[in-house]
Amino acid sequence: MARIVFADEGKQAKADLGVSLRKIMNECGIRMRFACGDGRCGICLVRIARGMEFLNEPSDREKMILELLKSEPDKRLACQCIVEGDGEIVVSTQH
């Protein structure tokens, strides 16, 4: 089980492995816009301040979008993040 910290909102959640960050955000009431939901639009960009190693590797499509957005290495698309390791993941939605 991972612990997800939403630094900007002051909220925390525990998440089972295999759960998407999007689902966790919805359950926590984190307000973020999701448009396509499958890693094409880039609207759900977040900063993973800590715990990137506890998330899945970005797909080729996510990498392409992150590159188009000229995002830093600590950014991910929330709709594409899956919790894959037990640890603390700190997310910033106000990057």
Q: Which DSSP helix (H) or strand (E) runs through 37? A: none
Q: Count the residues of the shown chain that bind ligand FES, applying the rule CB under 6 A.
A: 12
Neighbours of 72 (CB within 10 A): 9
Contact pick of 23, 36, 59, 74 for ligand FES (by CB under 6 A): 36
Q: For ligand FES, give the closer residue by CB, 40 or 95.
A: 40
Q: For ligand FES, give the closer residue by CB, 17 or 35.
A: 35
Site for ligand FES in 51-90 (CB under 6 A): 77, 79
Q: For ligand FES, give the closer residue by CB, 34 or 50.
A: 34
Question: DSSP assignment of 56-87, as one string?
Answer: PPPPHHHHHHHHHTT--TTEEEGGG-BB-SSS
Residue nearest to ligand FES (CB): 79
Tell me the CA distances in angstroms from 82 to 23, 24, 62, one per residue in order: 10, 10, 13
DSSP label at 45?
E
Residues that bind ligand FES (CB under 6 A): 34-37, 39-44, 77, 79
